[in-house]
Copies of this chain bind each other. A is one copy, B any other.
Amino acid sequence: MPHDFDAAIRLSPLGGHRFGGATHPAYANMVGPYGGVTAAALLNAALQHPERLGDPISLTVNFAAPLADGGFEIEARPARTNRSTQHWLLQLTQAGGIAATGTAVFAQRRETWSAPEAVMPADVPAAATLARAPVEGRPGWTQRYDMRFAPGETPVFDGRERPHSLSRLWVRDEPPRPLDFASLASLCDCFFPRIFIRRSAPALIGTVTLTSFFHADAALLAAQGDRHLLGSARALNFRHGYFDQSAEVWSDAGQLLASTHQLVYYRE
């Protein structure tokens, strides 16, 4: 039996640059599928494209329209292939309409001078010492992740506005699955909308655009295996119907694997 995640991002080549896929009930959100899996399916089209060069270093997905449950088509077209980088145009259509657009950059990395700058939060206890956040009554996709929030940072819907929206958690696929670029791309969207944290209340929201940078190469992802990753998310500003949120995703050895930035629509 494949992991539900692999079933959810599975694509069939349709010829040329086209691939067919379908939403998967295991990753259902309030309306339509979880956006992270849609982003991963778009990336997967480039990952399995015969002209692929190297590994992903960035991915932008724009959610143009709600996705209905059912089949969809993805076009992944290499716009430009250079010596060590490759630029992709991505598009997801459903019933003839564009539901998502995107771009990705792939690269062959080389050994260079390297240096971390950001440092993994040191004050979050090990995943094994924390309890998994309850998922009862939550959308299906949240049940596909094992989330363990830092003490005191589990989202609480008590309606008390908080001074900031920072929260940190350990997270991995549930059931466990070895990390790869597709699952990392999906996980980059797993952070609860920051307005939920800031206002301690749910709200009608929708991610408009999501950009993720992959700092890790395939070897670093393979070294992580299926263990918990540490995520840290926050917002800069909530204004006139849109807020941003940014997050870092760390290996349990303290390496930055991805940083991710999204702009989110909200309605009161």
Contacts and interface: CB of A to CB of B under 8 A. Distances in A.
Contacts of A38: none
B164 A117 contact: yes
A98 interface: yes
- Main secondary structure on chain A at its contact with chain B? strand
A174 interface: no
Interface string A62-99: 10110000000000000110100101010100000111
A268 interface: yes
Given A64-B80, A117-B235, A241 B110 contact: yes
A51 to B, nearest CB: 15
A241 B109 contact: yes
Contacts of A164: 117
Given A64-B80, A112-B267, A208-B57, A256 B236 contact: yes
Interface in A98-119: 98-99, 101-103, 105, 107, 109-118
Nearest to A161: B115
A261 B110 contact: no
Contact of A101 (B87, B117, B259): B87
Contacts of A48: none
Interface stretch (A17-25, A138-146, A210-218): A210-218
Nearest to A235: B117
Interface of A: 57-58, 60, 62, 64-65, 79-80, 82, 85, 87, 89, 91, 97-99, 101-103, 105, 107, 109-118, 161, 164-165, 194, 198-199, 208-209, 211, 213, 215-217, 234-242, 244, 246, 248, 256, 259, 261, 263, 265-268
29 contacts: A57-B242, A58-B62, A58-B209, A60-B60, A60-B62, A60-B103, A60-B211, A64-B79, A64-B82, A65-B82, A80-B97, A80-B101, A85-B208, A85-B265, A102-B103, A103-B209, A109-B239, A112-B267, A116-B236, A116-B237, A116-B239, A117-B165, A117-B198, A117-B238, A213-B263, A215-B236, A236-B256, A237-B256, A246-B246
